[in-house]
A = this chain, B = another copy of it.
């Protein structure tokens, strides 16, 4: 059983989000370990980045599981709200995934990401079929918008422009209801 690398990954993602060009030395010091130890944990910088990508997809994947996305019987908007709730804590990893566009290229990560995207898209598509979701926006695009909103909200929280306890609601409401006032309801 390898040493638990998760704390190192967590501090790394926080640092890399603020300064994407951080050196291995800075990453190591932010984690409170030595350069060489960091290299022992992750043999090479690409390995670290890959591990970060893996941790990101794993966390988000777990969040999707926890939201019970594949439950065919549930109300789609309600599931999307749950999903946002569960994904919100992974906002940092999500933002990282967005920034590090060079992850595209790693087949395994690409596959994992495609799978997650597909699961959310399928959920939206089911909503479109049963009439609860708009059909003039592609499910793929709604899925992408969800993740993008979560990342943006995470960033806004980080920067103090959005209250943390308000962030999930802000995302879900905007995503599902839009910014204009509904005529009645």
A39 within 8 A of B: no
Work out how many copies of this chain go into the complex: 4
Q: Which 3 A-B pairs have the closest CB atoms?
A: A178-B178, A148-B152, A177-B178
Which residues does A use to contact B, with CB under 8 Å?
17-21, 77, 80, 98-102, 104, 124, 127, 131-138, 140-142, 144-145, 148-149, 151-153, 155-156, 159, 161-162, 170, 173-183, 185
> What's the least CB distance linking A149 to chain B, in Å?
6
Chain A, interface SS category:
helix
A95 to chain B, nearest CB (A): 9
Contact present for B183 and A178 (CB under 8 Å): no
Taking the nearest CB of chain B, how far is it from the CB of A64, in angstroms? 17
State the Cβ distance, A137 to closest chain B Cβ, in Å. 6
Query: Contact: B175 with A19, CB < 8 Å?
Result: no
Query: Is B179's CB under 8 angstroms from A175's CB?
Result: yes
